[in-house]
């Protein structure tokens, strides 16, 4: 089934979820290796690839968000309190905000540093910011903070899914894996 139902996520939502999880994980790890590299041609090439993959991630997040808006969200398990519902929905929206903020802050950081953002050498993204070193420093801080918030939030998200699966023994984890 392509679309979500009241009982489970559809194949498209599951594909977005897991592909973006893998891409974001790889990009965060690669970004940390990139930060540790010495200046030089290899670092510039690696940075270009990191930015290109960040652009792919941004496009996939946009598509995922549109798909989310066009589909129903599976029901939470019976017995979920209003507070738990608010926390679950709030965490999902927070994760979306972080997933958007990470690649956007990277693009803004590069542009404010006067460095164009290329998509695998095929084309450059439109320039939204002129060179502004202080603004580049600000966006570098945002980019460096958001990945940490993203990792912490994903760990919490995984912890909640495992809690549902092993403690509550409901179908929350199955909704995003094998079905309801």
CB 119 within 8 A of CB 125: yes
- pLDDT surpasses 80 at 70: yes
CB 91 within 8 A of CB 153: yes
Identify whether 5 is part of a domain. Answer: no
Q: Which residues contact 116 (CB under 8 A, 6 or more apart)?
A: 110, 124, 125, 127
Cα 123 → chain centroid:
23
DSSP calls for 118-179: EETTTEEPPP-S---HHHHHHHHHHHHHHHHHHHHHHHHHHHHHHIIIIII--SHHHHTTT-
pLDDT at 179: 77
Per the structure, how many domains does the chain have? 1
Identify whether 3 is part of a domain. Answer: no
Identify whether 52 is part of a domain. Answer: yes
- pLDDT surpasses 80 at 163: yes
Identify whether 160 is part of a domain. Answer: yes
Confidence band, pLDDT 50/70/90 cuts, at residue 180: low
Cβ neighbours around 26 below 10 Å, total? 13
Confidence band, pLDDT 50/70/90 cuts, at residue 92: very high
Confidence band, pLDDT 50/70/90 cuts, at residue 8: very high
Identify whether 6 is part of a domain. Answer: no
- Cα separation, 43 vs 79, in Å, equals 52
* Residue-wise pLDDT tens digits, 106-143: 999 999 999 999 999 999 999 999 999 999 999 999 99
Identify whether 4 is part of a domain. Answer: no
Q: Which domain holds residue 28?
A: 11-175
* Residue-wise pLDDT tens digits, 15-56: 999 999 999 999 999 999 999 999 999 999 999 999 999 999
- Cα separation, 146 vs 61, in Å, equals 15
Identify whether 26 is part of a domain. Answer: yes
Identify whether 2 is part of a domain. Answer: no
The CATH code of the domain that includes 39 is 1.20.950
């Amino acid at each position: 089934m392509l679309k979500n139902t009241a009982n489970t996520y559809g194949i498209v939502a599951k594909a977005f979820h897991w592909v973006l999880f893998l891409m974001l994980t790889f990009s965060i790890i690669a970004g940390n290796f990139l930060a540790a590299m010495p200046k030089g041609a290899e670092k510039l090439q690696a940075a270009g690839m990191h930015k290109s993959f960040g652009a792919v991630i941004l496009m996939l997040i946009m598509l995922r968000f549109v798909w989310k808006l066009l589909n129903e969200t599976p029901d939470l398990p019976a017995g979920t309190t209003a507070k738990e519902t608010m926390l679950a929905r709030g965490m999902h929206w927070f994760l979306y905000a972080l997933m958007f903020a990470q690649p956007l802050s990277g693009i803004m950081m590069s542009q404010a540093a006067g460095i164009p953002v290329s998509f695998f050498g095929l084309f450059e993204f439109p320039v939204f910011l002129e060179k502004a070193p202080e603004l580049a420093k600000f966006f570098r801080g945002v980019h460096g903070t958001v990945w940490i918030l993203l990792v912490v939030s994903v760990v919490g998200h995984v912890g909640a899914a495992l809690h549902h699966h092993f403690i509550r023994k409901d179908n929350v984890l199955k909704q995003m894996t094998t079905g309801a």
